[in-house]
Amino acid sequence: MPEETPAHPPKRALITVKGLLVLFAGMFLLFGGLIWGAQWFLMKTGGDLVANATQAFEQLFKLTPQLTVHSGSVVMEKASIAELAVTQRKVRTIVNYKQQWLGSTKVLIVQGDFIVKAGFDLNQSFRFSVDQGTREVSVDFAKPKILSTEFKGMDVLFSSDGIINHLNPEDSKQVVQLLLAETKLQALNSDIREEAMQQVQQRVKDLLSTSASKINVHFHDGALPPAAIALP
């Protein structure tokens, strides 16, 4: 009587459809977590350049930056209103004021002292852009401007009343206005704004030179050009 061959149990699939779905879901979560973790690591722990740039931003502008992250780059912009006075100078101005009425001339020669401040109007656009891949930092400013002309006082060098045309408080007011206008004109014709650009450029480089591979500081007339990276 021939021996019976034992029947083999049917082969089972190595993994079921349900198992495949679970596996793919797990891999998706794993890779998603790795990507998110890498971004978080760059921003929070490994992004020393971002941390240094943020600190430089705060030191320069006395503002906490508003950060925008996109494809490994960070754009820092202001989130509040402020001005940054970079340099100031004492200015002394002399005005020779004369006024004639019915042939009678009054004269007032005065010397005014002012403090002129130049810097950046942070209500205009400006930004730090940090590329974490190349470790380059780009800083964009609107060009500096005269922020304030502070009147500190004046001395009368010479005064003379006309026979019928006497000096009065209104003349003093006009002289102060002339002093202020002349001082502003002197400031605009001076190199104080160029000095402000040089100072802020050097300050940025001093703060970031040890952590950035390259630092680019640009000054623009009017509105800034679009950021080098696309923002979300």
* Domain co-membership, 124 together with 151: yes
Quick one: average pLDDT of 21-48? 45
Residue 230 lies in a domain: no
Residues 84 and 29 both lie in one domain: no
Percent of the chain exceeding pLDDT 90 equals 24
Residue 231 has pLDDT above 80, yes or no: no
For 52-62, give one letter per residue: b (16+ CB within 10 A) or e: bbbebbeebbe
| Domain around 36 | 12-46
**Are 68 and 160 found together in one domain?**
yes
**Are 17 and 61 in a shared domain?**
no
Is the model's pLDDT at 232 over the cut of 50? no
Number of domains in the chain: 2
Q: Which residue in this structure is represented by tokens 């100031």? A: 88
Residue 153 lies in a domain: yes
Section 209-231 average pLDDT: 73
Which pLDDT belongs to residue 66? 60
Is 4 among the domain residues?
no
42 and 143 belong to one structural domain = no
Are 17 and 75 contained in the same domain?
no
> Per-residue pLDDT averaged across 186-204, rounded?
91
pLDDT at 130: 84
Whether 1 is in a domain gets the answer no
Token digits of residue 202: 């050097």
The residue written with tokens 């402020």 in the block is 82
Beta strand 73-77 pairing with 127-131? antiparallel
Q: Are residues 98 and 156 in the same domain?
A: yes
C-alpha span between 120 and 144 (Å, rounded):
5
Q: Are residues 96 and 158 in the same domain?
A: yes
Contacts of 119 (CB under 8 A, 6+ apart): 83, 84, 85, 86, 87, 144, 145, 147, 196, 200
118 falls in which pLDDT band (50, 70, 90)?
Answer: very high
Q: Is the domain of 135 the same as that of 165? A: yes
Average pLDDT, integer, range 98-116: 91
> Within this chain, do residues 42 and 55 fall inside the same structural domain, yes or no?
no
Mean pLDDT, range 28-50, rounded to an integer: 46
Identity of the residue numbered 186? Q
Query: Residue 145 phi/psi, 5° resolution?
Result: -140, 170
Domain for residue 231, yes or no?
no
Span 63-81, pLDDT tens digits = 666 666 655 555 555 544 4
228 occurs within a structural domain: no
Residue 2 lies in a domain: no
Question: Residue 218: pLDDT above 80?
Answer: yes
Q: Is 227 a domain residue?
A: no
pLDDT the model gives residue 226: 61
> What pLDDT is attached to residue 12?
52
In terms of domains, do 207 and 139 share one?
yes
Q: Has residue 225 got a pLDDT over 50?
A: yes
pLDDT surpassing 80 at residue 20: no
In this predicted model, what pLDDT tens digit does every residue of 146-187 receive, in sequence order? 999 999 988 999 988 888 888 888 988 899 899 999 999 999
Same domain for 206 and 108: yes
